[in-house]
Chain A
């Protein structure tokens, strides 16, 4: 139950990828038949990726994954901007609960002299639109706000932000890594200028992703070399990976309605069951929420212990507890929605996917109350 961390590769995707390892293994940049066949496969994938967000194929750049896409989008725009406008317009607006692949890039640019504004969110994780609008100045050149949060699953008002960005002539990037295949995305309708996609979150292989860049927007390259991807991202094409991403996008598009209603049904079932546990709470928004996300907190217990006990029962979850992070800090997302560190400690994220079953939900609902009780019996903070 950790599909937000990663997903298994769909069998159809694997089947599609296999020939590109040993049969059609040519370098997609080569002129011979092997190369051209690989090139055709890459271009087909480009169409499939474009198709899931209503973009044009030539607006898609292949990368190594979501983090690279975020880096390329934000640094690429920032560097281009600095060069073109002599760093006069140096203001970027982002959101407090972004993924580290965005936040750390912003921190990095801050050290280079860019001015970054981190807009807070409310207790459900929704960005404060008024503050975002008020933060805009004549120096703002980029807004980057995630489509949906990876921890608590809150879906941000992307269309509204797109409108604001457009009205103010500011570029808008969104990290849609968690949203693809779960929320309808239309870069034109939603006025999105740049959008990050990851393959392994949508039943594709790891190590590949894409960045959508609206036609006419120019960015600076981060990886220089042979001039692949219109000079924006050099490096020999990862043909099997790209083919896999393409197929995964095609499947996600075809199965969208079925996938979403399946996950939503299971999600609501799980939430209903878990909230029967005394002093348990749902983090995140009740309705503006990813169809596969549940995120709970339990008073007086700690998330790492909770997850390891679930692991013993064969259930994989995750937590925003400080104890399980490498930095021993509670999740910035949970603190941003106003939780106290001790509340953040008792958090549990269970995320569902295409292959989740009702049996799994029932099993988890069955074992969770006992584990919570066991940990509470052990806890000096619990006066049950």
Chain B
């Protein structure tokens, strides 16, 4: 089963980056549902329109954990607009690819991030 995933996926799965919660997060986004097996929550802190801190929690398979982990790394320090434009494909590419079957069900990090940004923008209004 481990051969099924790239080294980078396994690395992020074994050593997830930015794992955890942010207590007073400026934005929180959750996507997925327990039925299909993957739920992820992304917490962001925003400073000067940039993501100054980001953390995640994921319930799901290896691909789900690794994709959220790498996505947090990819957008940390980026502007909100840059982060908002992150796509599922960007995440999969950065991981060196994901098995086709996992592309839709587990690769939800970009969606969770957009939810978190939406949540921040809504709060600010």
Contacts and interface: CB of A to CB of B under 8 A. Distances in A.
A250 B48 CA distance: 76
A310 to B, nearest CB: 11
Contacts of B19: 377-378
Interface in A286-319: 300-302, 304-305, 307-309, 311-312
B20 to A, nearest CB: 8
A381 B101 contact: no
Given A328-B105, A345-B34, A304 B59 contact: no
A382 B21 CA distance: 12
A341 B35 contact: yes
Given A305-B13, A378-B57, 20 more contacts: A302-B38, A304-B1, A304-B61, A305-B65, A308-B13, A311-B1, A321-B37, A322-B37, A323-B37, A323-B38, A323-B61, A323-B63, A328-B105, A330-B37, A341-B36, A342-B35, A345-B34, A380-B40, A380-B59, A381-B39
B58 to A, nearest CB: 6
B106 interface: yes
A324 interface: yes
Interface of B: 1-2, 10, 13-14, 16, 19-20, 30, 34-41, 57-65, 101, 105-106
26 contacts: A300-B59, A302-B60, A302-B61, A305-B61, A309-B14, A322-B36, A323-B60, A323-B61, A323-B64, A323-B105, A324-B61, A326-B101, A328-B36, A328-B101, A341-B35, A342-B35, A377-B20, A378-B16, A378-B58, A378-B65, A379-B58, A379-B59, A380-B30, A380-B41, A380-B59, A381-B39
Contacts of A321: 37, 61
Given A304-B1, A378-B57, A342 B62 contact: no
A341 B37 contact: yes
Contact of B37 (A302, A307, A311, A382): A302
Contacts of A307: 1
B34 A342 contact: yes
Contacts of B2: 308, 311
Interface of A: 300-302, 304-305, 307-309, 311-312, 321-324, 326, 328, 330, 340-342, 345, 377-382
A377 B21 CA distance: 10
Nearest to B58: A378
Q: Which of A300, A304, A312, A322 has most chain B Cβ within 10 Å? A: A304
Contacts of A304: 1, 61-62
Contacts of B41: 380
Contacts of B40: 380
A324 B39 CA distance: 16
A381 B59 contact: yes
Contacts of B59: 300-302, 378-382
A308 B62 contact: yes
Nearest to B14: A312
Contacts of B30: 380
Pick the 8 closest A-B CB pairs, nearest first.
A342-B34, A323-B61, A380-B57, A304-B61, A379-B59, A380-B41, A323-B37, A381-B59
A331 B20 CA distance: 30
